[in-house]
Amino acid sequence: MKCEDVSKDLIAYLDGQANSSDRRRIEEHLAGCPACRSRAEEMRKVSVLLGELPAIEPSFGFDARVRQRVAAEPQRSWFWRLVPPPRPAFAMALLVALTVLVAKLPTHKTPATTTTVASAQQQEEDFNAIKNLGVLENYDALTKFDQMTETAAATPSAQPDGKAQQSDESND
C-alpha cells in the first residue's frame, strides 16, 4: 500500500470511523512507514488543538431580535391560507381547469358579430353600386372633373343654352 492510498482514509481512521478492513490496511501501513506514522500522530494533535478553541455565547438580545424579525414576517391573506400546498401546482391546475371550462362554453352570435356581418354586406353592396357607375369608366370625366365643376360655377346663366344645345344635338 502506498502513502497516497492511506491519506484518503486517514482522518476517518483517526476518528475511529474507518471500517474494519480499512483500519487494518492503514495500521499495517503505519507500522511500516515512520513518515505516515508521524503525520498521523501530528494530525491527531491538530484535532486536540482545535478542541481547545473556546465557544462564544450569543449576545444578550439575540433571541429577541430573531423573534422580532419573525413577528415582522408578512402573514398570508385568508385566501392563500385556504390554498393547499404546493401552491404553484395548485395554481397550474386551476388555470387548466378554467381553460377547459371556457373552451367548453356554448358559442353564441353576439350583437357585435351580427353588426360586423351586416357592415361587411353593406360595404359589398356599395362597392358593386360604385363599380357599375358609368362615370367611373369615363376617363375624361374623371380627369377633367375639377375643370368641369369650375366652368359650371363660372357660367351659371349659360346653363339653359347649353341644355338646349345639348338637346338639339341629341335630336340630331
Partner 1 sequence: MARTDVELMLDVKAGDDSSFDFLLQKYRSPLINFLHRMVRDTATAEDLAQEVFLRVYRARKQYTPSAKFTTWLFRIATNLALNSVRDNRYAKLAVPLDAPVDEDSAPMELPAPVMRIDEHMIERDRAEFIRRAIASLPEKQRAAVLLHKYEEMDYGEIAKILDCSESALKSLLFRAYESLRVQLAPLVTQPVEQRAGEGRPS
Binding site for partner 1 (CB under 8 A): 7-12, 17, 39, 42-43, 45-59, 62-63, 65-67, 69-70, 73, 85-86
Nearer to partner 1, 54 or 111 (CB): 54
| 4 or 172: CB nearest partner 1 | 4
Q: Residue 101: CB partners within 8 Å, gap ≥ 6?
A: none
Q: How far is the CB of 95 from partner 1 (least distance, A)?
A: 21
Least separation in angstroms between CB 94 and partner 1: 19
DSSP state letter for 108: -
Distance CA 161, CA 73 (A): 98
Q: What value, to the nearest 5°, has the Cα angle with vertex 8 and ends 4 and 11?
A: 125
Query: Greatest CA separation found in the chain?
Result: 143
Closest to partner 1 by CB, 20 vs 59, is 59
- Closest approach, Cβ 108 to partner 1, in A, equals 44
